[in-house]
């Protein structure tokens, strides 16, 4: 699809526009966090513990006296950073396995697909938590664990598309022109797989945001004292009935980010795969 046509369709999709706007806002907040946050997110004030929202602390404070607004703003960084890391690992790995399996077939396909089936047969979140428990807490380890459990779906999807197009006139004409090997895979086959993979990725990122929050909640995400939404919820669980805003505020941020990626995924599906309309 020409880029100008893609942009035209994207502007006509309310879901894609709203999702993209929300994600752009999150990215902007993450980039401008040092200027937007009113206080140091790790600065503790024992005299200001568990304060309700007020003029000095607009969203209140946590059990350590840290400003919740500042921590909420800085919390966008590990959330979006993990999403970016998962994307960089998952998409290339899944497409590579799927394209090689679908195009070459034979023993290579059997080996790659059996390994893919084994990974897909395991519970995704439990497997991710197990990986992080073995590797140790941290943003990179969390992204690696989530990526290792996410790529198989992209591999199977790409393989199915390549098998459907393997004997098409388009690829036959390219091969007759002497285009083979990596040049054929990257220049002609990869563009055929990208649209559906991008749609799936946008929809999956909503779940990855939730999974990342789960890792932070269990203490397996970003290392303290880094501000992280899941860890903020865990910190507020002990006082949830009296100081409910400590958990509600980061929970709302997680909901907002997840909804943004869901809207973007729905909009991209309408734009890139019109047959789903």
DSSP 228-262: -HHHHHHHHGGGTTTSTHHHHHHHHHHHHHHHHHH
pLDDT of residue 162: 87
Q: Which residues pair with 67 in a beta bridge?
A: 61
The contacts found for 34-43 with CB under 8 angstroms, 24 or more apart, are 36/73, 37/67, 37/69, 37/70, 37/73, 37/74, 38/67, 38/69, 38/70, 39/67, 39/70, 40/70, 41/66, 41/67, 41/70, 41/71, 41/73, 41/74, 41/227, 42/66, 42/225, 42/227, 43/67
Give residue 274's pLDDT band: very low, low, confident or very high (50, 70, 90).
low
- Tens digit of pLDDT for each residue in 61-110? 998 999 999 999 999 999 999 999 999 999 999 999 999 998 888 898 89
Higher pLDDT, 150 or 170: 150
Helix (H, G, I), strand (E, B) or coil at 44: coil
Question: Is residue 91 a part of any domain in this protein?
Answer: yes
Number of domains in the chain: 1
Q: Is there a domain that residue 53 lies in?
A: no
pTM value is: 0.87
pLDDT confidence tier of residue 140, bands split at 50, 70 and 90: confident
Residue 70 located in a structural domain? yes
41: in domain:
no
Distances (CA, A) of 103 to 99, 175, 238: 6, 13, 54
Q: Is residue 212 part of a domain?
A: yes
Give the residue with greater pLDDT, 267 vs 23: 23
In this predicted model, which residue has the larger pLDDT, 277 or 187? Answer: 187
In a domain, 270, yes or no: yes
Confidence of residue 273 (pLDDT cuts 50, 70, 90): low
Q: What angle do CA 52, 81, 25 make, to 5 degrees?
A: 60
d(CA 45, CA 207) in angstroms, rounded, equals 35
- pLDDT tens, position by position, 21-34: 999 999 999 999 99
> How high is the pLDDT of residue 4?
58
Hey, what long-range contacts does 11-18 have (CB within 8 A, 24 or more apart)?
13/267, 13/270, 13/271, 14/267, 15/263, 15/264, 15/266, 15/267, 15/270, 16/263, 16/264, 16/266, 16/267, 16/268, 16/270, 16/271, 17/267, 18/260, 18/263, 18/267
pLDDT reported for residue 261: 93
Give the CATH number for residue 24. Answer: 1.10.3720.10
Domain assignment of residue 48, yes or no: no
Q: Which domain holds residue 83?
A: 3-33+58-276
Cα separation, 216 vs 224, in Å, equals 10
How far does CA 155 lie from the centroid of its chain? Answer: 17
Average pLDDT, the chain: 87
- For residue 184, being part of any structural domain is answered with yes
Per-residue pLDDT tens digits for 183-238: 888 888 888 888 889 888 988 999 899 988 988 898 888 888 889 999 999 999 98
């Amino acid at each position: 699809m020409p880029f100008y046509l893609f942009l035209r369709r994207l502007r006509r999709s309310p879901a894609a526009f709203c999702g993209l706007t929300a994600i752009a806002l999150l990215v902007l907040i993450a980039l401008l966090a040092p200027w937007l946050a009113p206080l140091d997110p790790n600065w503790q004030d024992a005299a200001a513990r568990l304060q309700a929202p007020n003029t000095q602390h607009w969203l209140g404070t946590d059990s350590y006296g840290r400003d919740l607004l500042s921590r909420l703003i800085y919390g966008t960084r590990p959330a979006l950073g993990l999403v970016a890391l998962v994307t960089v690992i998952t998409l290339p790995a899944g497409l590579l396995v799927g394209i090689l399996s679908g195009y070459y077939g034979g023993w290579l396909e059997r080996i790659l697909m059996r390994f893919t089936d084994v990974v897909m047969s395991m519970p995704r979140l439990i497997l991710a938590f197990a990986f992080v428990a073995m590797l140790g807490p941290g943003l990179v380890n969390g992204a690696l664990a989530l990526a290792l459990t996410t790529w198989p779906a992209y591999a199977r999807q790409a393989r199915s598309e390549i098998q459907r197009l393997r004997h098409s006139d388009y690829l036959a004409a390219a091969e007759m022109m002497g285009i083979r090997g990596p040049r054929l895979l990257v220049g002609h086959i990869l563009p055929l797989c990208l649209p559906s993979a991008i749609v799936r990725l946008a929809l999956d990122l909503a779940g990855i945001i939730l999974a990342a929050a789960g890792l932070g909640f269990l203490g397996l995400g970003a290392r303290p004292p880094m501000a992280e939404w899941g860890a903020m919820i865990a910190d507020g669980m002990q006082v949830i009935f009296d100081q409910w805003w400590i958990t509600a505020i980061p929970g709302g941020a997680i909901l907002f980010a997840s909804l943004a990626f869901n809207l973007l995924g729905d909009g991209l599906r309408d734009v890139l795969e019109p047959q789903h309309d």
